[in-house]
Structure 1
């Protein structure tokens, strides 16, 4: 197959619907996350993984030795909004296949992108402490979800994502930023309330979706290879911007929502609709 036809097949896969079972939707709604197998082919992950990796190492500015970094800095290299940096990265980020899964799981008519981010946990990279993503987002509705896409098979020694099942339904720890404190405080609170923690490897082509208020963490990368992950954050296309409640939401309002008026809806320039029924 020539290169043009091969690229067409990759783009076709990124647009092709993935059948989300009713059991998967129920599991997501109950537990605040779901892991889905065979969502993306090795060919797609290989092709776009190389593009994403090149961008991460070209755009990364975190060059301090690991021993001099904060807990957050040791967790991963974090590069955001690759879709605005590269046309082929945009093809991956704007996948209708992945966006439709998000809409199906949340039970909404369509989704916008909030932003994307590559999260590369280097060899010897530390833990990702317990946290909930929506602490950082000035958004009115809990109809938000992140797809977590490992670009390689991710065994336990690489630090796969772990989830506290059903934690999106409780309001503990919603005022805690990701930190050593969040790891300690949330670990104790989740254990006290007997939340089951799902912590298993990811096969190649397996992805997870987790809700904005679902508490999650990842272990250290004790392998000799980087744990390469791409993520996209989706929100209900009818989401509303609220008054920021902390310094991080103030920054997010400016950076990812273009400082639009409080009470308005995100617009297409920064937050385009990626799937609509």
Structure 2
């Protein structure tokens, strides 16, 4: 007859190995889900970028405003409502994304939010911020549509958008993230429900000349390496298999011991 403490140890080992196998299978499935998400994002990007260019106007149907689609818009900058989006590094250098509303031609208060480019952060707080280009006149902006301003993880202490813009105390407000709904509430503007990431220099609408000084525009791409997630999933499923095999070995040995005890 098997000793009680041996039975308890066997059951405990089986329980622990079962938990390990379950956790590993869950992590493997999670990695497969991440891979499927990245594949879906890649398909969405390919579909958007292969779509014909869109000229955004206040009358543009919402179903035409698909992410990653090449697009253009015509209007004037509302420079006093420019916002700097913090912690947007470029090649290891800290900086900001410059976001400015473009008031669309023919409307007094309908705008599209444009991510204009990257601005390097000064080395110290005592140094002045590099000047933000402020071209005047009616411009044509070309770029790529985004569903929203890409977000970063935000702490409770992160900088927030002022309640009203423009803010005399903060000529260039700095925020961690920028939501269109918050920006519309602060500015009183009606925003097209899309963001335009500028990819080329602005062009003067009436003479075709480039507007002048520009910002650096190299927008980060989403991580699309689904094969890495599949590799991680294979590793987790391998660990689960080892745990399951160990369970079977323990059960087999326990049955052998029980069979031997009955022969005596």
TM-score (norm 2): 0.25
Larger radius of gyration: 2
